[in-house]
């Protein structure tokens, strides 16, 4: 839905089909980080769904007491580091936003069957078919698009344990700004406050388990968590985003967040190829950039899962003892406790020359190519030819106000990734290299 909105805003025409008649009402994602909030602002739904800021995440061990306290207070790029939310409300906000555009249609109750790549036709249920230049599989964990492209998960790690997710309502929570993981191997559970006096528990199911009495349960579901990654996120004209491309256990709260990163990365590239005759090759960078990062988030979640649900007390002793011990070392303490343990959204390979990390947010992110001069307007340093080529590609040229040690030229992509930078005297060369790349 987020991808469709970003494309619709660029004037791209498209069709969404969803086999479900309704937005999924069950309990799934509950937390979002600042990356996700930055993307949702670009999508235009910021402020359209309720959020609760989370200031700390605490891990408690039955053997060592509090073993870690991650500080999630404060903001990055103007967005809270961590919030909780109500997924159906966010999905409704996205669907409402999408309806503002008439170049994208949404059909519910229609199922994808197969894709004829040569003719560019996606075959849907009830003899309906759609001719398209690109097909994006955002069809979740059991993606048929993924299977139809021979990109199915090779190794699908399915956890043995079953977890019961319980969302209660009208719950007067103590410590309503903190998430707590009770990492007891006998019955681990996180407790998570959420907007609208909601509260969530995720219980690993054991024999004889019963829900604490007196809760007003709003919704519940049982899941077996999984960790898997598609061998590629794209093939020819097909792309995979979200759970269709990667599945993660929820211990790092990164499943939906990774899906939003996919959408943001892919949307401008598709729009650029469709509208501005950008070279098709740039689409290859989607897999190059997104797959390694999604993988590192899955690894983080698997690691967090070992801390949260060690299989027995001996494992708890080793794993939780190590975390408790390391947490006393200043370097590790800073790394773990200041939320730095989360792999940075920095690419090693992809569509950039020098950079690959995120540019800090301006007052509100613009979704164009931008050439910035720090403390100096670089326009006068550019050849007429490059300036015109830049502007033809929708590029902007801007002076970044402030005090800087040196004057730099920095090129930023529509998804806020730094593409190239260097001394401002080389602005024309930097721009030439970027133009050749795209
Ligand atoms: C207990 C739990 C807690 C979680 N907590 C978090 C969290 O805190 N933070 C976080 O970021 N993530 C979390 N996640 C993960 C998050 O919920 C998912 O990553 C996210 O919802 C996936 O979104 P998606 O759009 O990729 O897939 P889905 O939401 O599964 O959407 C797929 C859509 O495709 C449709 N579809 C499927 N097959 C077809 C077909 N053949 N034809 C047409 N349509 C089809 C479906 O009807 C569905 O609407 C959690 C997940 C669980 C289970």
In order along the chain (438 residues), what is the average pLDDT of each group of 10 residues? 96 94 95 96 95 94 88 92 96 97 92 87 78 94 94 84 89 87 88 93 82 83 92 96 96 94 97 88 96 94 86 84 82 70 86 94 84 95 96 94 92 96 97 95
Q: Output the pLDDT for position 90.
A: 98
Which ligand 1 atom is the nearest neighbour of the CA of 30?
8
Determine if ligand 1 sits within 6 Å of the CB of residue 31: yes
Determine if ligand 1 sits within 6 Å of the CB of residue 89: no
Show the 3-state SS of 280-299.
HHHHHHHHHHHHHHHHHHHH
Question: What pTM does this model have?
Answer: 0.95
Contact 164, 209 (CB under 8 A): yes
Between the CA of 122 and the centroid of ligand 1 the distance, in Å, is 21
Torsion sign (Cα): 277, 433, 234, 9: negative
The domain spans of the chain are 2-49+72-160+226-337, 370-437
Contact 135, 238 (CB under 8 A): yes
Contact 68, 58 (CB under 8 A): yes
61 Cβ contact partners less than 8 Å away, ≥ 6 residues apart: 67, 183, 184, 316, 320, 324
CATH class of this structure's domain 2-49+72-160+226-337: alpha beta
Determine if ligand 1 sits within 6 Å of the CB of residue 253: yes
| Whole-number Cα distances in Å, 242 to 28, 46, 230, 239, 273 | 14, 20, 11, 10, 21
Determine if ligand 1 sits within 6 Å of the CB of residue 144: yes
Q: Output the pLDDT for position 338.
A: 66
Determine if ligand 1 sits within 6 Å of the CB of residue 114: no
| Whole-number Cα distances in Å, 316 to 50, 180, 182, 184 | 36, 17, 12, 8
**Most ligand 1 atoms within 8 A of CB, residue of 158, 256, 297, 304 to mutate:** 256
Q: Output the pLDDT for position 366.
A: 85
CA-proximal residue: ligand 1, atom 20 (nearest): 256
Q: Output the pLDDT for position 216.
A: 86
**Most ligand 1 atoms within 8 A of CB, residue of 19, 163, 200 to mutate:** 19
């Amino acid at each position: 839905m987020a991808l469709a909105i970003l494309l619709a805003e660029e004037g791209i025409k498209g069709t969404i089909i969803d086999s479900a008649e309704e937005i999924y009402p069950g309990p799934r994602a509950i937390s979002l980080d600042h990356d996700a909030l930055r993307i949702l602002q670009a999508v235009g739904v910021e402020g359209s769904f309720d959020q609760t800021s989370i200031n700390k995440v605490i891990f408690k061990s039955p053997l060592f007491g509090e073993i870690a306290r991650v500080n999630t207070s404060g903001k990055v790029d103007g967005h809270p580091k961590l919030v909780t939310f109500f997924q159906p409300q966010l999905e409704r906000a996205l669907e409402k936003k999408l309806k503002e555009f008439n170049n994208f249609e949404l059909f519910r109750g229609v199922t994808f069957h197969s894709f004829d790549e040569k003719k560019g036709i996606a075959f849907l249920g009830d003899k309906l078919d759609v001719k398209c230049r690109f097909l994006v599989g955002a069809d979740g964990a059991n993606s048929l698009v993924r299977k139809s492209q021979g990109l199915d998960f090779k190794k699908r790690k399915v956890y043995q344990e079953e977890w019961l997710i319980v969302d209660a309502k009208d719950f007067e929570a103590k410590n309503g700004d903190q998430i707590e993981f009770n990492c007891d191997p006998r019955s681990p559970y996180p407790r998570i406050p959420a907007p609208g006096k909601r509260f969530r528990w995720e219980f690993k199911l054991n024999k004889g388990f019963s829900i604490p009495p007196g809760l007003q349960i709003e919704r519940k579901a049982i899941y077996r968590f999984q960790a898997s990654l598609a061998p590629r996120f794209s093939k020819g004209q097909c792309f995979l985003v979200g759970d269709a491309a990667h599945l993660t256990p929820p211990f790092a709260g990164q499943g939906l967040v990774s899906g939003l990163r996919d959408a943001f990365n892919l949307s401008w590239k598709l729009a650029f190829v469709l509208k501005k005759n950008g070279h098709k090759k740039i689409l290859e960078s989607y897999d190059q950039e997104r797959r390694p990062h999604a993988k590192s988030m899955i690894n983080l979640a698997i690691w967090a899962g070992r801390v949260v649900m060690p299989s027995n007390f001996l494992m708890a002793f080793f794993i939780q003892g190590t975390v408790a011990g390391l947490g006393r070392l200043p370097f590790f303490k800073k790394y773990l406790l200041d939320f730095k343990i989360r792999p940075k959204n920095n690419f090693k390979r992809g569509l950039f020359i020098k950079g690959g990390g995120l540019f800090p947010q301006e007052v509100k992110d613009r979704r164009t190519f931008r050439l910035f001069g720090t403390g100096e307007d670089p326009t006068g340093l550019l050849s007429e030819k490059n300036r015109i080529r830049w502007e033809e590609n929708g590029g902007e040229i801007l002076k970044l106000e402030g005090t800087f040690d040196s004057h730099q030229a920095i090129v930023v992509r529509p998804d806020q990734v730094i593409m190239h930078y260097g001394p401002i005297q080389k602005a024309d060369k930097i721009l030439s290299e970027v133009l050749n790349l795209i």
